[in-house]
Amino acid sequence: MGILERRKEVKILIVEDNPTNMKLISNLIKKAAYEVLGAADANAGIAMAREERPDLILMDIQLPGMDGLTATGILKNDEKTRHIPVIALTSYAMKGDEERMTAAGCDGYLAKPIRYKELLQTVESFLREKHP
């Protein structure tokens, strides 16, 4: 099976409240031929993760209502979803943020603006552990 066919079987959930960012990130993911799921807030993202069991989650940190770190903590405390790698999307990579993201259970993070090559490399590094 070729790499693009294999990627079609990989579901990536994007949790992002900003429609412009959502469109941009989901276009980048689609360009790489992965299947895309989207949720605009933490509650919808958690529900979708439980229902769809994506292979990876891209989680915006700043969300209306529940923030992305709290949502990640909930997913990591649920045995049905704890195995799913969560990559935090952050627009402010300040000192201490990395520790906060790790403490919340995030497996990695990407700083906005999101660039295609970096996104793809990060996503692939987490998927490789599951789909070698």
Interacting residue with Mn ion among 7, 12, 14, 17 (CB under 5 A): 17
Distance of CA 80 to the CA centre of its chain: 16
Helix, strand, coil percent values for the chain (each to nearest 5)? 45, 20, 35
Choice between 33 and 66, CB closer to Mn ion: 66
Q: Is 112 among the residues that bind Mn ion (CB under 5 A)? A: no
Q: Is 70 among the residues that bind Mn ion (CB under 5 A)? A: no
Stretch that binds Mn ion, among 56-64, 70-78, 79-87, 121-129 (CB under 5 A): 56-64
Choice between 7 and 90, CB closer to Mn ion: 90
**What minimum distance in Å lies between the beta carbon of 100 and Mn ion?**
16
Q: What is the dihedral of CA 73, 75, 77, 79, to 10 degrees?
A: -160
Residue 101 to residue 127: CA distance in whole angstroms: 20
Choice between 17 and 107, CB closer to Mn ion: 17
Choice between 39 and 123, CB closer to Mn ion: 39
Six-digit token string for 130:
């599951």
Q: Where does the chain show beta strands of DSSP type E?
A: 11-15, 35-39, 56-60, 86-90, 108-111
Q: Is 60 among the residues that bind Mn ion (CB under 5 A)? A: yes
Question: Residues in the site for Mn ion, rule: CB under 5 A?
Answer: 17, 60, 62
